[in-house]
């Protein structure tokens, strides 16, 4: 026995003394080498995007099997999302935004009706192209779809107005597949105040809004604090029993005065809650200089069109607009998005940040290098260049949002 133990000990010591494989230094690679590695990481790692506005784009564009309208199973001329580009970029689970415009709040029943129609449209997409897309209601569903090579389509409702004034609709929409609800959008609603609204009806959550958060906890829907006012944000953290998410928000430090983004104090409060902040890629979200730069370009183009008696649809005008915009590029770059991730990580750590692009929701404001879903590897390459490890990137891509999502599931299962 003693001899066997001695041999085992000697073996363990010998193993411990063996030289370990050195960690890869991505920072010393060339940009081309790093992008190749980043693309490989994107394809082998489950990537979740917290917010893609495809359903509303399909509604506006007329989703149909007829190729001449909108069919995202093939490469499309417009928009930021379609199946081929999604596969190229390594995106596996874009949260489909069931978007309710604030205007619908003025018509009783209109918000819920629109939410139902967009859910049906999303489901129809998976039914029409079952080899490409699949519904997903949990991290486990996403993992199973990833293993079979399908793009998962989890759903989040953007604007709690879809609940109308009936608390029972929280459970109803959970059964319909909604897995997060953004409490407000551009205007205050029955739930609480919005960051975009100068009117503050409740100075935070309403009493009904507090009940909504509690009911979301109970049934297993993540609380999304993007779009809410600072006071609503803090009220939601006080009421919730589980971590929250910000599905598509960026850092206010880079956009002073823009309440739609999150202040350092809110980021720290969310981290203390255990939540995750998913960075929005939109130009006005990541760079305060973008709005001024883009306005200047637009003004010049409008004046040039008038002086030359041309419309935007004229080929000569399109050529000039392309050339002028490129020469006077107002767009931020992929590096700016990485700056926002850097800031969150430096402030609260790697466990509280994710991706929430707002593709198909922020128009043409997207940064150079992140114009559509095929370009996620550019962001991963930039993170590798800054010293992030593969483990870090996995957390950003899906680990952090899965942690929150599973905590919400577990709490609901124990109620």
Taking the whole predicted model, whether its pTM rises above 0.75 is answered as yes
pLDDT at residue 22, as a whole number:
56
Residues of the chain with pLDDT under 50: 1-5, 20, 65-68
Pairing state of beta strands 93-99 and 133-135?
unpaired
pLDDT digits (tens, 9 = 90+) for 143-170: 999 999 999 999 999 999 999 999 999 9
pLDDT at residue 196, as a whole number:
96
pLDDT at residue 49, as a whole number:
98
Residue spans of the domains in the chain: they are 42-283+333-369+395-413, 288-331
Output b/e per residue, 96-133; b: 16+ Cβ within 10 A.
bbbbbbbebbeeeebbbebbeebbebbbebbeebeebb
pLDDT at residue 9, as a whole number:
54
The 3-state secondary structure of 231-297 reads HHHHHHHHHCCCCCEECCCCEHHHCCCCCCCECHHHHHHHHHHCCEEEECCCHHHHCHHHHHHHHHH
Sign of CA pseudo-dihedral 353, 182, 138, 410: positive
Helices assigned H by DSSP within 51-185: 54-61, 83-89, 110-128, 139-147, 168-175
pLDDT at residue 2, as a whole number:
47
pLDDT digits (tens, 9 = 90+) for 328-369: 877 899 999 999 999 999 999 999 999 999 999 998 889 999
Q: Measured between alpha carbons, how far is 378 from 368 in angstroms, rounded to an integer?
A: 10
Q: Measured between alpha carbons, how far is 345 from 347 in angstroms, rounded to an integer?
A: 5
pLDDT at residue 127, as a whole number:
94
Tell me if the domain spanning 42-283+333-369+395-413 has CATH number 3.20.20.140: yes
């Amino acid at each position: 026995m003693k001899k066997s133990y001695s041999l085992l000990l000697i073996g363990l010591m010998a193993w411990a003394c063996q030289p370990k494989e050195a960690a890869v230094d991505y920072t010393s690679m060339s940009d081309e080498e790093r992008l190749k590695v980043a693309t490989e990481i994107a394809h082998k790692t489950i990537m979740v995007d917290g917010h893609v506005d495809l359903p509303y784009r399909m509604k506006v564009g007329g989703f149909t099997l007829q190729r001449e309208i909108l069919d995202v199973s093939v490469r499309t001329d417009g928009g930021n999302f379609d199946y081929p580009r999604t596969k190229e970029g390594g995106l596996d689970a874009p949260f489909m935004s069931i978007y309710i415009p604030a205007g619908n709040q003025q018509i009783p029943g209109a918000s819920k009706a629109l939410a139902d129609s967009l859910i049906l449209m999303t489901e129809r997409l998976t039914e029409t192209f079952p080899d490409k897309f699949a519904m997903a209601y949990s991290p486990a569903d996403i993992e199973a779809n990833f293993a079979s090579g399908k793009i998962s389509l989890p759903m989040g409702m953007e604007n709690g107005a879809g609940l109308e004034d009936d608390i029972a609709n929280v459970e109803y929409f959970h059964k319909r597949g909604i897995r997060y609800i953004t409490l407000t959008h551009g205007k205050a609603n029955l739930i609480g105040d919005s960051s975009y609204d100068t009117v503050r009806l409740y100075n935070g959550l309403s009493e009904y809004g507090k009940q909504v958060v509690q009911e979301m906890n109970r049934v297993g829907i993540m609380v999304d604090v993007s779009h809410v006012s600072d006071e609503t944000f803090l009220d939601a953290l006080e009421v919730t029993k589980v971590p929250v998410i910000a599905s598509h928000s960026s850092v206010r430090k880079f956009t002073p005065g823009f309440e739609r983004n999150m202040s350092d104090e809110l980021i720290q409060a969310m981290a203390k809650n255990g939540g995750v902040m998913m960075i929005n890629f939109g130009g006005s979200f990541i760079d305060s200089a973008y709005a001024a730069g883009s306005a200047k370009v637009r003004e010049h183009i409008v004046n040039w069109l008038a002086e030359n008696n041309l419309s935007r649809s004229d080929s000569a005008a399109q050529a000039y607009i392309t050339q002028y915009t490129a020469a006077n590029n107002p767009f931020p770059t992929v590096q700016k998005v990485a700056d926002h991730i850097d800031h969150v990580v430096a402030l609260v750590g790697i466990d509280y940040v994710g991706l929430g692009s707002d593709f198909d929701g922020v128009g043409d404001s997207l940064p150079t290098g992140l114009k559509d879903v095929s370009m996620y590897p550019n962001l991963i390459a930039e993170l590798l260049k800054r010293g992030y490890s593969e483990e870090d990137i996995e957390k950003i891509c899906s680990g952090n949002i899965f942690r929150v999502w599973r905590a919400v599931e577990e709490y609901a299962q124990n109620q």
